[in-house]
Structure 1
Amino acid sequence: MSQQKKFKRTWIIGASSGIGEALAERLAARGEEIILSARNAEALETICKRLKGRGHRVLPLDVSDGPAVARSAIWLKDTVGPLDRVLFFAGAYTPMKLGQIDLGDMGRIVDTNLKGAFYVVEATLPVMAEKGQIALCASVAGYRGLPNGQPYAATKAGVISLATSLRAEHGDRLDIKVINPGFVKTRLTDKNGFEMPMMITPEKAARAIARELDSKRFEIHFPKGFTRMVKLLALLPDGLYFNAVKGMR
Protein backbone atom coordinates (compact mmCIF):
# COMPACT_ATOMS: atom_id res chain seq x y z
CA MET A 1 0.00 0.00 0.00
CA SER A 2 1.41 3.42 -0.96
CA GLN A 3 2.03 5.87 1.83
CA GLN A 4 -0.39 8.80 1.99
CA LYS A 5 1.24 12.13 1.24
CA LYS A 6 1.81 14.28 4.30
CA PHE A 7 0.95 17.90 3.63
CA LYS A 8 3.30 20.35 5.33
CA ARG A 9 3.31 23.66 3.47
CA THR A 10 -0.11 25.18 2.76
CA TRP A 11 -0.86 28.46 1.00
CA ILE A 12 -4.32 29.80 1.86
CA ILE A 13 -5.46 32.63 -0.40
CA GLY A 14 -8.37 34.56 1.10
CA ALA A 15 -7.25 33.91 4.67
CA SER A 16 -8.09 37.23 6.34
CA SER A 17 -11.63 36.26 7.40
CA GLY A 18 -14.39 33.68 7.13
CA ILE A 19 -13.67 30.13 6.01
CA GLY A 20 -10.06 30.86 5.04
CA GLU A 21 -9.23 32.20 8.48
CA ALA A 22 -10.95 29.34 10.30
CA LEU A 23 -9.27 26.74 8.11
CA ALA A 24 -5.84 28.32 8.67
CA GLU A 25 -6.30 27.85 12.41
CA ARG A 26 -7.45 24.25 12.03
CA LEU A 27 -4.65 23.19 9.64
CA ALA A 28 -1.99 24.96 11.70
CA ALA A 29 -3.21 23.10 14.78
CA ARG A 30 -2.54 19.79 13.06
CA GLY A 31 1.00 20.74 12.14
CA GLU A 32 0.91 22.40 8.73
CA GLU A 33 2.98 25.48 7.93
CA ILE A 34 0.56 28.14 6.71
CA ILE A 35 1.18 30.96 4.24
CA LEU A 36 -1.61 33.49 4.70
CA SER A 37 -2.63 35.69 1.77
CA ALA A 38 -5.32 38.33 1.26
CA ARG A 39 -5.40 42.08 0.67
CA ASN A 40 -5.75 42.97 4.37
CA ALA A 41 -2.16 42.71 5.64
CA GLU A 42 -3.05 43.89 9.16
CA ALA A 43 -5.70 41.19 9.59
CA LEU A 44 -3.29 38.56 8.30
CA GLU A 45 -0.61 39.57 10.81
CA THR A 46 -3.13 39.31 13.64
CA ILE A 47 -4.23 35.84 12.54
CA CYS A 48 -0.66 34.65 12.01
CA LYS A 49 0.32 35.55 15.58
CA ARG A 50 -2.34 33.28 17.06
CA LEU A 51 -1.72 30.25 14.86
CA LYS A 52 -0.34 27.22 16.63
CA GLY A 53 2.99 25.84 15.50
CA ARG A 54 5.87 27.54 13.72
CA GLY A 55 6.95 28.55 10.25
CA HIS A 56 3.80 30.49 9.34
CA ARG A 57 4.12 33.45 6.98
CA VAL A 58 2.10 36.43 5.81
CA LEU A 59 2.07 37.30 2.11
CA PRO A 60 -0.36 40.16 1.29
CA LEU A 61 -1.87 39.69 -2.16
CA ASP A 62 -4.65 40.98 -4.41
CA VAL A 63 -5.69 38.00 -6.55
CA SER A 64 -7.10 40.27 -9.24
CA ASP A 65 -3.50 41.33 -10.02
CA GLY A 66 -2.26 38.50 -12.23
CA PRO A 67 1.43 39.50 -12.35
CA ALA A 68 1.47 39.90 -8.54
CA VAL A 69 0.05 36.39 -8.12
CA ALA A 70 2.74 35.00 -10.42
CA ARG A 71 5.51 36.83 -8.57
CA SER A 72 4.20 35.60 -5.22
CA ALA A 73 4.18 31.97 -6.33
CA ILE A 74 7.74 32.19 -7.63
CA TRP A 75 8.89 33.96 -4.45
CA LEU A 76 7.36 31.21 -2.31
CA LYS A 77 9.07 28.45 -4.27
CA ASP A 78 12.42 30.23 -4.06
CA THR A 79 12.00 31.10 -0.37
CA VAL A 80 10.22 28.15 1.24
CA GLY A 81 10.27 25.48 -1.47
CA PRO A 82 7.56 23.71 -3.49
CA LEU A 83 4.01 24.10 -2.19
CA ASP A 84 2.20 21.04 -0.86
CA ARG A 85 -1.27 22.55 -0.76
CA VAL A 86 -2.89 25.65 -2.30
CA LEU A 87 -6.37 26.60 -1.12
CA PHE A 88 -8.24 29.38 -2.94
CA PHE A 89 -10.90 31.14 -0.85
CA ALA A 90 -10.72 34.70 -2.18
CA GLY A 91 -14.20 35.99 -2.94
CA ALA A 92 -16.28 39.07 -3.65
CA TYR A 93 -20.06 39.40 -3.61
CA THR A 94 -22.72 42.06 -3.94
CA PRO A 95 -26.43 41.15 -4.23
CA MET A 96 -27.73 42.29 -7.64
CA LYS A 97 -30.60 41.73 -10.07
CA LEU A 98 -30.17 41.43 -13.82
CA GLY A 99 -31.17 44.70 -15.43
CA GLN A 100 -29.83 46.58 -12.41
CA ILE A 101 -26.23 45.40 -12.45
CA ASP A 102 -23.57 47.76 -11.14
CA LEU A 103 -20.89 47.31 -13.80
CA GLY A 104 -18.08 48.34 -11.45
CA ASP A 105 -19.10 45.79 -8.84
CA MET A 106 -19.58 43.18 -11.55
CA GLY A 107 -16.02 43.69 -12.77
CA ARG A 108 -14.65 43.41 -9.22
CA ILE A 109 -16.55 40.17 -8.60
CA VAL A 110 -15.40 38.61 -11.86
CA ASP A 111 -11.82 39.78 -11.31
CA THR A 112 -11.66 38.29 -7.82
CA ASN A 113 -13.74 35.14 -8.02
CA LEU A 114 -13.02 33.87 -11.51
CA LYS A 115 -10.00 35.63 -12.97
CA GLY A 116 -8.31 35.35 -9.57
CA ALA A 117 -8.83 31.58 -9.59
CA PHE A 118 -7.30 31.34 -13.08
CA TYR A 119 -4.34 33.48 -12.00
CA VAL A 120 -3.72 31.27 -8.98
CA VAL A 121 -3.95 28.04 -10.98
CA GLU A 122 -1.57 29.26 -13.68
CA ALA A 123 0.90 30.61 -11.12
CA THR A 124 0.93 27.58 -8.84
CA LEU A 125 0.98 24.66 -11.27
CA PRO A 126 4.73 25.10 -11.91
CA VAL A 127 5.60 25.44 -8.20
CA MET A 128 3.63 22.55 -6.70
CA ALA A 129 5.31 19.67 -4.92
CA GLU A 130 4.87 16.21 -6.42
CA LYS A 131 1.41 14.89 -5.51
CA GLY A 132 0.48 18.32 -4.11
CA GLN A 133 -3.04 19.66 -3.90
CA ILE A 134 -4.96 22.59 -5.38
CA ALA A 135 -8.47 23.20 -4.00
CA LEU A 136 -10.71 25.97 -5.36
CA CYS A 137 -13.66 27.27 -3.37
CA ALA A 138 -16.77 27.74 -5.50
CA SER A 139 -20.34 27.50 -4.16
CA VAL A 140 -23.57 25.56 -4.58
CA ALA A 141 -24.74 28.80 -6.22
CA GLY A 142 -22.66 27.68 -9.20
CA TYR A 143 -24.65 24.47 -9.79
CA ARG A 144 -27.32 26.24 -11.87
CA GLY A 145 -28.46 29.84 -12.38
CA LEU A 146 -30.69 31.27 -9.65
CA PRO A 147 -32.81 34.43 -9.52
CA ASN A 148 -30.90 37.42 -8.11
CA GLY A 149 -27.71 35.38 -8.07
CA GLN A 150 -25.68 37.15 -10.74
CA PRO A 151 -22.86 37.83 -11.33
CA TYR A 152 -21.68 35.86 -8.26
CA ALA A 153 -23.29 32.57 -9.33
CA ALA A 154 -21.82 32.82 -12.82
CA THR A 155 -18.30 33.21 -11.42
CA LYS A 156 -18.79 30.22 -9.13
CA ALA A 157 -20.07 28.12 -12.03
CA GLY A 158 -16.87 29.13 -13.81
CA VAL A 159 -14.74 28.03 -10.85
CA ILE A 160 -16.48 24.65 -10.78
CA SER A 161 -15.75 24.26 -14.49
CA LEU A 162 -12.14 25.37 -14.00
CA ALA A 163 -11.60 22.86 -11.20
CA THR A 164 -13.16 20.08 -13.29
CA SER A 165 -10.89 20.85 -16.24
CA LEU A 166 -7.91 21.08 -13.93
CA ARG A 167 -8.68 17.66 -12.48
CA ALA A 168 -9.06 16.19 -15.98
CA GLU A 169 -5.74 17.66 -17.15
CA HIS A 170 -3.56 17.36 -14.04
CA GLY A 171 -5.29 14.79 -11.84
CA ASP A 172 -2.58 12.20 -12.41
CA ARG A 173 0.07 14.47 -10.88
CA LEU A 174 -1.90 16.59 -8.42
CA ASP A 175 -4.90 16.21 -6.13
CA ILE A 176 -7.47 18.69 -7.45
CA LYS A 177 -10.62 19.53 -5.51
CA VAL A 178 -13.55 21.91 -5.69
CA ILE A 179 -15.21 23.13 -2.48
CA ASN A 180 -18.92 23.98 -2.72
CA PRO A 181 -20.31 25.40 0.53
CA GLY A 182 -23.92 26.20 1.26
CA PHE A 183 -24.61 29.26 3.40
CA VAL A 184 -21.77 30.14 5.77
CA LYS A 185 -21.95 33.08 8.18
CA THR A 186 -19.37 35.54 6.74
CA ARG A 187 -19.06 39.20 5.79
CA LEU A 188 -20.33 38.22 2.33
CA THR A 189 -23.52 36.45 3.43
CA ASP A 190 -24.15 39.31 5.87
CA LYS A 191 -25.10 41.33 2.77
CA ASN A 192 -28.10 39.11 2.03
CA GLY A 193 -31.55 40.30 2.95
CA PHE A 194 -33.26 36.91 2.67
CA GLU A 195 -33.51 33.82 4.87
CA MET A 196 -30.55 31.48 4.42
CA PRO A 197 -31.45 27.90 5.39
CA MET A 198 -29.07 25.64 7.31
CA MET A 199 -26.44 28.38 7.70
CA ILE A 200 -23.30 27.27 9.51
CA THR A 201 -20.35 29.06 11.10
CA PRO A 202 -16.92 29.39 9.43
CA GLU A 203 -15.55 27.06 12.12
CA LYS A 204 -18.01 24.30 11.16
CA ALA A 205 -17.20 24.88 7.50
CA ALA A 206 -13.47 24.60 8.23
CA ARG A 207 -14.05 21.37 10.14
CA ALA A 208 -15.98 19.90 7.20
CA ILE A 209 -13.26 20.92 4.73
CA ALA A 210 -10.35 19.73 6.87
CA ARG A 211 -12.06 16.36 7.31
CA GLU A 212 -12.26 15.79 3.53
CA LEU A 213 -9.17 17.55 2.18
CA ASP A 214 -7.12 14.38 2.39
CA SER A 215 -9.87 12.15 1.01
CA LYS A 216 -10.04 10.94 -2.59
CA ARG A 217 -13.18 12.99 -3.29
CA PHE A 218 -13.11 15.64 -5.99
CA GLU A 219 -15.96 17.71 -4.55
CA ILE A 220 -16.27 18.80 -0.93
CA HIS A 221 -19.77 20.12 -0.21
CA PHE A 222 -21.55 20.99 3.02
CA PRO A 223 -23.76 21.08 5.00
CA LYS A 224 -24.83 17.84 3.40
CA GLY A 225 -28.54 18.20 4.19
CA PHE A 226 -28.69 21.47 2.27
CA THR A 227 -26.25 20.78 -0.54
CA ARG A 228 -27.93 17.49 -1.46
CA MET A 229 -31.26 19.32 -1.84
CA VAL A 230 -29.62 21.91 -4.11
CA LYS A 231 -28.01 19.14 -6.18
CA LEU A 232 -31.41 17.50 -6.69
CA LEU A 233 -32.96 20.86 -7.62
CA ALA A 234 -30.23 21.46 -10.21
CA LEU A 235 -30.95 18.08 -11.82
CA LEU A 236 -34.61 18.86 -12.53
CA PRO A 237 -35.71 19.18 -16.17
CA ASP A 238 -35.80 22.79 -17.33
CA GLY A 239 -39.54 23.33 -16.99
CA LEU A 240 -39.68 21.91 -13.47
CA TYR A 241 -36.55 23.80 -12.47
CA PHE A 242 -37.83 27.22 -13.55
CA ASN A 243 -41.16 26.59 -11.82
CA ALA A 244 -39.32 25.58 -8.64
CA VAL A 245 -37.24 28.78 -8.47
CA LYS A 246 -40.06 31.23 -9.28
CA GLY A 247 -40.56 31.97 -5.62
CA MET A 248 -36.95 33.14 -5.26
CA ARG A 249 -37.42 36.17 -7.51
Structure 2
Amino acid sequence: MRFPFLQPLNRPVRDWQNQTIWIIGASSGIGAALARSLLSLDANVILSARRQANLESVANAHPRAHILAFDVADQNAWQSASQQLQDKFPQIDLVIFCAAKYQPERSWEVNANDAADTLKINLESVYHGLQTVLPGMLQRGNGGLAILASVAGYLGLPNASVYGPSKAALINLTELLYSDLHEKNINVYLVNPGFVSTELTSKNDFTMPALQTPEQASHAILAGIANGDFEIHFPKRFTMGLKLMQMLPYRLRFALIRRFVVA
Protein backbone atom coordinates (compact mmCIF):
# COMPACT_ATOMS: atom_id res chain seq x y z
CA MET A 1 0.00 0.00 0.00
CA ARG A 2 1.40 3.40 -0.99
CA PHE A 3 0.86 6.42 1.24
CA PRO A 4 0.76 9.67 -0.76
CA PHE A 5 2.14 11.69 2.14
CA LEU A 6 5.32 9.59 2.08
CA GLN A 7 5.98 10.13 -1.63
CA PRO A 8 8.55 12.72 -2.82
CA LEU A 9 7.09 16.18 -3.34
CA ASN A 10 9.09 16.56 -6.56
CA ARG A 11 10.14 14.15 -9.28
CA PRO A 12 13.61 12.89 -8.24
CA VAL A 13 16.43 13.95 -10.56
CA ARG A 14 19.49 11.70 -10.45
CA ASP A 15 20.90 11.86 -13.98
CA TRP A 16 22.21 15.29 -14.99
CA GLN A 17 23.83 14.28 -18.27
CA ASN A 18 22.82 16.64 -21.08
CA GLN A 19 20.38 18.54 -18.88
CA THR A 20 20.62 22.31 -19.18
CA ILE A 21 20.94 24.18 -15.89
CA TRP A 22 20.94 27.97 -15.59
CA ILE A 23 22.62 29.19 -12.40
CA ILE A 24 21.93 32.79 -11.41
CA GLY A 25 24.71 33.98 -9.13
CA ALA A 26 27.36 31.51 -10.28
CA SER A 27 30.44 33.69 -9.80
CA SER A 28 31.21 32.62 -6.23
CA GLY A 29 30.02 30.71 -3.18
CA ILE A 30 27.25 28.13 -3.46
CA GLY A 31 26.43 29.05 -7.06
CA ALA A 32 30.02 28.50 -8.17
CA ALA A 33 30.23 25.18 -6.31
CA LEU A 34 26.98 24.02 -7.90
CA ALA A 35 28.27 24.97 -11.34
CA ARG A 36 31.45 22.93 -10.86
CA SER A 37 29.51 19.95 -9.50
CA LEU A 38 26.99 19.94 -12.33
CA LEU A 39 29.69 20.30 -14.97
CA SER A 40 31.43 17.27 -13.49
CA LEU A 41 28.12 15.39 -13.91
CA ASP A 42 27.99 16.22 -17.63
CA ALA A 43 25.24 18.81 -17.43
CA ASN A 44 25.19 21.83 -19.72
CA VAL A 45 25.59 24.76 -17.31
CA ILE A 46 24.83 28.41 -18.04
CA LEU A 47 26.69 30.61 -15.56
CA SER A 48 25.30 34.07 -14.90
CA ALA A 49 26.28 36.94 -12.62
CA ARG A 50 27.71 40.41 -13.10
CA ARG A 51 31.40 39.48 -12.82
CA GLN A 52 32.55 38.09 -16.17
CA ALA A 53 36.08 37.28 -14.99
CA ASN A 54 34.80 35.31 -12.01
CA LEU A 55 32.44 33.33 -14.21
CA GLU A 56 35.30 32.48 -16.56
CA SER A 57 37.35 31.27 -13.61
CA VAL A 58 34.52 29.01 -12.40
CA ALA A 59 33.86 27.65 -15.90
CA ASN A 60 37.56 26.95 -16.40
CA ALA A 61 37.02 26.59 -20.17
CA HIS A 62 34.80 23.54 -19.63
CA PRO A 63 33.19 22.58 -22.97
CA ARG A 64 29.74 22.32 -21.36
CA ALA A 65 29.96 25.71 -19.63
CA HIS A 66 28.30 28.76 -21.20
CA ILE A 67 29.01 32.18 -19.67
CA LEU A 68 26.29 34.79 -19.77
CA ALA A 69 27.19 37.79 -17.64
CA PHE A 70 24.50 40.35 -16.81
CA ASP A 71 23.01 42.34 -13.94
CA VAL A 72 20.25 40.15 -12.49
CA ALA A 73 18.63 43.19 -10.86
CA ASP A 74 17.96 44.67 -14.33
CA GLN A 75 14.66 43.47 -15.79
CA ASN A 76 15.64 44.41 -19.34
CA ALA A 77 18.90 42.48 -19.01
CA TRP A 78 16.89 39.33 -18.27
CA GLN A 79 15.04 39.61 -21.56
CA SER A 80 18.27 40.19 -23.47
CA ALA A 81 19.91 37.20 -21.75
CA SER A 82 16.96 34.96 -22.56
CA GLN A 83 17.08 35.93 -26.23
CA GLN A 84 20.80 35.09 -26.36
CA LEU A 85 20.08 31.62 -24.98
CA GLN A 86 17.14 30.67 -27.18
CA ASP A 87 19.08 29.43 -30.20
CA LYS A 88 21.69 27.40 -28.31
CA PHE A 89 19.54 26.27 -25.38
CA PRO A 90 15.86 26.24 -26.41
CA GLN A 91 14.98 24.25 -23.27
CA ILE A 92 16.16 25.11 -19.75
CA ASP A 93 15.59 22.12 -17.46
CA LEU A 94 16.36 23.86 -14.16
CA VAL A 95 16.98 27.44 -13.06
CA ILE A 96 18.80 27.91 -9.77
CA PHE A 97 18.48 31.35 -8.18
CA CYS A 98 21.57 31.96 -6.02
CA ALA A 99 22.25 35.69 -6.40
CA ALA A 100 22.27 37.51 -3.07
CA LYS A 101 23.49 40.58 -1.24
CA TYR A 102 24.12 40.64 2.50
CA GLN A 103 25.17 43.32 4.92
CA PRO A 104 25.23 42.54 8.66
CA GLU A 105 23.40 45.40 10.34
CA ARG A 106 21.07 46.11 13.22
CA SER A 107 17.75 47.82 12.54
CA TRP A 108 19.04 51.26 13.54
CA GLU A 109 21.91 50.93 11.05
CA VAL A 110 19.77 50.31 7.96
CA ASN A 111 20.21 52.69 5.05
CA ALA A 112 17.15 52.94 2.80
CA ASN A 113 19.13 53.02 -0.45
CA ASP A 114 21.23 50.01 0.51
CA ALA A 115 18.10 48.19 1.63
CA ALA A 116 16.45 48.83 -1.74
CA ASP A 117 19.53 47.48 -3.52
CA THR A 118 19.51 44.32 -1.37
CA LEU A 119 15.82 43.74 -2.09
CA LYS A 120 16.41 44.22 -5.83
CA ILE A 121 19.06 41.52 -5.88
CA ASN A 122 17.64 39.08 -3.33
CA LEU A 123 13.95 39.30 -4.19
CA GLU A 124 13.06 41.37 -7.26
CA SER A 125 15.59 39.57 -9.44
CA VAL A 126 13.78 36.29 -8.78
CA TYR A 127 10.53 37.80 -10.08
CA HIS A 128 12.37 39.04 -13.18
CA GLY A 129 13.71 35.52 -13.69
CA LEU A 130 10.32 33.89 -13.21
CA GLN A 131 8.76 36.21 -15.77
CA THR A 132 11.54 35.21 -18.18
CA VAL A 133 11.65 31.41 -17.78
CA LEU A 134 8.21 30.33 -16.59
CA PRO A 135 6.30 30.84 -19.87
CA GLY A 136 8.56 28.37 -21.69
CA MET A 137 8.35 25.80 -18.90
CA LEU A 138 4.57 26.07 -18.78
CA GLN A 139 4.33 25.73 -22.54
CA ARG A 140 6.48 22.58 -22.51
CA GLY A 141 4.89 21.18 -19.37
CA ASN A 142 8.18 20.51 -17.60
CA GLY A 143 11.11 22.19 -15.91
CA GLY A 144 12.38 23.10 -12.48
CA LEU A 145 13.02 26.09 -10.22
CA ALA A 146 15.36 26.11 -7.22
CA ILE A 147 15.39 29.19 -5.01
CA LEU A 148 18.10 29.74 -2.41
CA ALA A 149 16.53 31.38 0.60
CA SER A 150 18.17 30.95 4.02
CA VAL A 151 17.51 29.87 7.57
CA ALA A 152 17.76 33.62 8.23
CA GLY A 153 14.21 33.68 6.84
CA TYR A 154 12.92 31.33 9.55
CA LEU A 155 13.11 33.87 12.39
CA GLY A 156 13.61 37.57 12.93
CA LEU A 157 17.27 37.49 13.92
CA PRO A 158 19.55 40.45 14.72
CA ASN A 159 22.20 41.50 12.17
CA ALA A 160 19.98 40.43 9.24
CA SER A 161 17.71 43.46 9.17
CA VAL A 162 17.21 43.46 5.39
CA TYR A 163 18.69 40.12 4.35
CA GLY A 164 16.45 38.14 6.73
CA PRO A 165 13.15 39.65 5.57
CA SER A 166 14.20 39.22 1.92
CA LYS A 167 14.83 35.52 2.56
CA ALA A 168 11.56 35.14 4.47
CA ALA A 169 9.81 36.53 1.40
CA LEU A 170 11.60 33.98 -0.79
CA ILE A 171 10.43 31.15 1.47
CA ASN A 172 6.83 32.35 1.11
CA LEU A 173 7.24 32.80 -2.65
CA THR A 174 8.70 29.33 -3.15
CA GLU A 175 5.90 27.71 -1.16
CA LEU A 176 3.24 29.34 -3.31
CA LEU A 177 5.18 28.50 -6.48
CA TYR A 178 5.06 24.84 -5.50
CA SER A 179 1.30 25.05 -4.99
CA ASP A 180 0.84 26.76 -8.36
CA LEU A 181 3.25 24.70 -10.44
CA HIS A 182 3.38 21.16 -9.06
CA GLU A 183 0.32 20.06 -11.00
CA LYS A 184 1.82 21.59 -14.12
CA ASN A 185 4.79 19.19 -13.91
CA ILE A 186 7.31 21.80 -12.80
CA ASN A 187 9.60 20.90 -9.89
CA VAL A 188 10.08 23.59 -7.25
CA TYR A 189 12.82 23.45 -4.61
CA LEU A 190 13.24 25.63 -1.54
CA VAL A 191 16.88 25.70 -0.39
CA ASN A 192 17.54 26.96 3.14
CA PRO A 193 21.25 26.76 3.97
CA GLY A 194 22.69 27.41 7.39
CA PHE A 195 26.05 29.19 7.56
CA VAL A 196 28.23 28.58 4.50
CA SER A 197 31.73 29.97 4.11
CA THR A 198 31.34 32.53 1.28
CA GLU A 199 32.15 36.14 0.45
CA LEU A 200 28.89 37.12 2.15
CA THR A 201 29.44 35.35 5.46
CA SER A 202 33.05 36.59 5.60
CA LYS A 203 31.49 39.89 6.71
CA ASN A 204 30.28 38.34 9.97
CA ASP A 205 32.29 39.09 13.10
CA PHE A 206 30.73 36.31 15.21
CA THR A 207 31.23 32.58 15.45
CA MET A 208 29.05 30.79 12.92
CA PRO A 209 27.85 27.41 14.23
CA ALA A 210 28.00 24.34 11.95
CA LEU A 211 29.79 26.31 9.22
CA GLN A 212 29.73 24.48 5.87
CA THR A 213 31.90 24.80 2.77
CA PRO A 214 30.28 25.70 -0.57
CA GLU A 215 31.14 22.18 -1.76
CA GLN A 216 29.24 20.66 1.19
CA ALA A 217 26.31 22.93 0.37
CA SER A 218 26.37 21.86 -3.29
CA HIS A 219 26.40 18.19 -2.28
CA ALA A 220 23.41 18.70 0.04
CA ILE A 221 21.43 20.55 -2.62
CA LEU A 222 22.01 17.95 -5.34
CA ALA A 223 21.22 15.15 -2.87
CA GLY A 224 17.94 16.86 -2.00
CA ILE A 225 17.03 17.20 -5.67
CA ALA A 226 17.90 13.53 -6.21
CA ASN A 227 15.52 12.64 -3.37
CA GLY A 228 12.70 14.77 -4.78
CA ASP A 229 12.64 16.98 -1.68
CA PHE A 230 10.79 20.28 -1.61
CA GLU A 231 12.72 21.94 1.20
CA ILE A 232 16.44 21.26 1.23
CA HIS A 233 17.91 22.56 4.50
CA PHE A 234 21.33 21.88 5.95
CA PRO A 235 23.19 21.08 8.09
CA LYS A 236 20.27 19.50 9.91
CA ARG A 237 22.01 19.54 13.29
CA PHE A 238 21.71 23.34 13.05
CA THR A 239 18.57 23.90 10.99
CA MET A 240 16.38 21.58 13.07
CA GLY A 241 17.07 23.69 16.15
CA LEU A 242 15.86 26.80 14.34
CA LYS A 243 12.77 24.97 13.15
CA LEU A 244 11.99 24.05 16.74
CA MET A 245 12.40 27.70 17.76
CA GLN A 246 9.81 28.64 15.11
CA MET A 247 7.22 26.58 16.97
CA LEU A 248 7.81 28.20 20.36
CA PRO A 249 5.58 30.95 21.78
CA TYR A 250 7.08 34.37 21.17
CA ARG A 251 7.89 34.87 24.86
CA LEU A 252 10.18 31.80 24.81
CA ARG A 253 11.51 32.49 21.33
CA PHE A 254 12.55 36.04 22.15
CA ALA A 255 14.15 34.88 25.41
CA LEU A 256 16.25 32.34 23.51
CA ILE A 257 17.28 34.93 20.91
CA ARG A 258 18.35 37.32 23.69
CA ARG A 259 20.25 34.51 25.43
CA PHE A 260 22.09 33.01 22.48
CA VAL A 261 22.07 35.54 19.64
CA VAL A 262 21.92 39.14 20.81
CA ALA A 263 25.32 40.48 21.82
1:56 and 2:74 aligned? no
Alpha-carbon distance, 1:215 to partner: 2.4
1:184 maps to a residue whose letter is V
**SS state at 2:158 partner:** coil
CA contact (8 A) 2:151 2:192 kept: yes
The equivalent of 1:127 in structure 2 is: 136
Alignment RMSD, CA only?
1.6
Aligned partners of 1:233 and 1:59: how far apart in 2? 41
Displacement after TM superposition at 1:170 (Å): 0.9
Question: In the TM superposition, what is the alpha-carbon distance from 1:4 to its structure 2 partner?
Answer: 6.5
Show structure 2 runs of 5+ residues with no match: 1-10
CA separation in 2, counterparts of 1:161 and 1:201? 26
1:187-244 Cα shifts (integer Å, max 9, x gaps): 0000011111000110111111111123221100101111111111111111111111
Quick one: which amino acid aligns to residue 134 of structure 1?
A: L
Q: Following TM superposition, by how much is the alpha carbon of 1:73 offset from its aligned partner in structure 2, in angstroms?
A: 2.3
1:193 alignment counterpart? 205
Look up the match of 1:13. Answer: 24
Instruction: Tell me how far apart the structure 2 counterparts of residues 169 and 76 of structure 1 sit (CA, whole Å).
Output: 26
**SS at the partner of 1:162?**
helix
Partner secondary structure for residue 226 of structure 2: coil
- Aligned position for 1:70: 79
What is the Cα deviation at residue 22 of structure 1? 0.6
State the Cα distance separating 1:71 from its structure 2 match.
2.6
Q: Give TM-score, length-normalised by structure 1.
A: 0.93
Match of residue 210 from structure 1: 222
Partner of residue 104, structure 1: 113
Distance in 1, Cα, partners of 2:188 & 2:12 = 15
1:221 corresponds to = 233
> 1:69-101 CA distances to partner (integer Å, 9 max, x unpaired)?
133224323331110010010000001111221
With 211-220 and 201-210 compared, the bigger mean Cα shift is at 211-220
Cα distance in 2 for residues equivalent to 1:209 and 1:96: 28
Taking the aligned partners of 2:143 and 2:226, their CA distance within structure 1 comes to 11
Alignment of 1:227-242 (within 5 A): 227-242=239-254
Instruction: State the Cα deviation string for residues 139-197 of structure 1 (Å, max 9, x = none).
Output: 00001211222100000001111111111111122000110000000000000111110
SS of 1:239's equivalent in the other structure is helix
How far apart in 1 are the matches of 2:77 and 2:181?
A: 24
What is the distance in 2 between the residues matched to 1:169 and 1:123? 17
Q: Which runs of 4+ in 1 moved over 6 A?
A: none
Give the 3 Å change call, closer, same or farther, for CA 19–212 of structure 1 in structure 2. Answer: same
Kept after mapping to 2: 8 A contact 1:73/1:127? no
1:127 to partner: Cα distance: 2.6
SS at match of 1:148: coil
Cα distance in structure 2, aligned partners of 1:4 and 1:94: 35
